[in-house]
Amino acid sequence: MLIALGVGLLFTLIVVFLQPFASIVWRLSDQLFLPTSPSPNVVIVAIDDESLAQYGKWSDWPRSLHAQAIENLSQAGAMVIGFDILFADQSADDPELAEAIADAGNVVLPVVGVEPMPSPQSEITYRDFLFPTSALEEAAAAMGHANVAPDGDGVIRRIPLVARAAFGKVVEVAEELRTYIL
């Protein structure tokens, strides 16, 4: 009887801490989601190889290019413009980009959590956040965290709607984008 109890306890500890069935659970949960066609209302404007060949490494692009992109998207009737580029460092082009962001009135900029920390709360907790420069932050219609947490197999199955800093600051996925994410 004691041996069976010991074996049961050992099996329970292995299942809880090593999670040997995690990949099976992930595959089964993937089967619950049927592939669907993307919405024609959502358009992703990405930095592609052709753009990199023309303008060079994207981190070296002048922010005036991003300002021009915002102006083009606004003229095309974009309801929300969400950036996944963090403009955390000052640039000479910040005033031009801030003006384009303010004129559009619908630009959402990212906030990025730095150094994840263990937390008893359901929100993901980070030691701190990186924000865009103050001029860009003030011009933006909203801010939203851009962190994702892939499962152990590298697949992103969830997007946390709330991220918390270790010292209490909370950042959510921007309401403007949440409509399209959900």
pTM: 0.73
Contacts of residue 111, defined as CB under 8 A and 6 or more positions apart, other chains included, come to 86, 129, 130, 131, 132, 143, 144, 145, 146, 171
Q: Where is pLDDT greater, at 178 or 91?
A: 91
pLDDT of the residue at 179: 42
Q: Where is pLDDT greater, at 113 or 102?
A: 102
CA atoms within 13 A on the CB side of 28: 5
For β-strands 107-117 and 142-145, DSSP reports them as parallel
**pLDDT tens-place string over residues 113-135:** 888 887 766 677 888 888 999 99
Considering only CA atoms, which of 108, 124, 128 is closest in space to residue 158? 124
pLDDT of the residue at 140: 95
pLDDT of the residue at 33: 79
**pLDDT tens-place string over residues 132-169:** 999 999 999 998 888 887 887 888 887 777 777 776 66
**pLDDT tens-place string over residues 16-74:** 776 777 777 777 787 887 788 888 888 888 889 998 999 999 888 999 999 999 999 99
Indicate whether 173 pLDDT > 70.
no
Considering only CA atoms, which of 33, 44, 37, 34 is closest in space to residue 69? 44
| Domain chopping of the chain, boundaries | 1-36, 38-181
Q: How confident is the model at residue 182 (pLDDT cuts 50, 70, 90)?
A: very low
